[in-house]
Amino acid sequence: VYSSIWNADDWATQGGRVKTDWRLAPFVASYRNFSLSGCIWSRFTRRTLCTPEDMDSMPVMKAELDRKSRTAMKKLQKRHMVYDYCRDKWRFPKGPAPEC
C-alpha cells in the first residue's frame, strides 16, 4: 500500500478556498477503520503465505511491477520520499518488518 499527501490542489482545498500553510509541514496522514485483505508476496522467492484458493480468487495478488515500473518507483522514492517504514532502523533494529 502506497500513500501520499498531495500538493494542496483544488480538489484537496475546496477549490482553493482553504489555504495551505506550508510552515506547518511536514504533514501527517493517518487512517481509521482501515482494513486490508492480502498476502505477503515475494518477487524474489515467488512465494506467498496465501493458499492456492486465495490466489485463484484474487488474481490481482499475482500482479507486480515490471522492471521499468520498479525503476520509476525507485526514482520517485529517491526524489520525494522523506520516510520509509521499511528502512526505519530505529523502529526495526533487527531488520525490516516481515511485510517489507
**Per-domain boundaries in the chain:** 1-99
pTM: 0.38
Q: Give the domain 1-99 fold.
A: Jelly Rolls (2.60.120)
Low-confidence ranges of the chain (pLDDT < 70): 1-12, 37, 61
Question: What's the mean per-residue pLDDT of the chain?
Answer: 78
Q: Write down the H helix ranges in 2-99.
A: 52-57, 67-80
Residues 37-53: pLDDT tens digits?
677 777 788 777 777 78
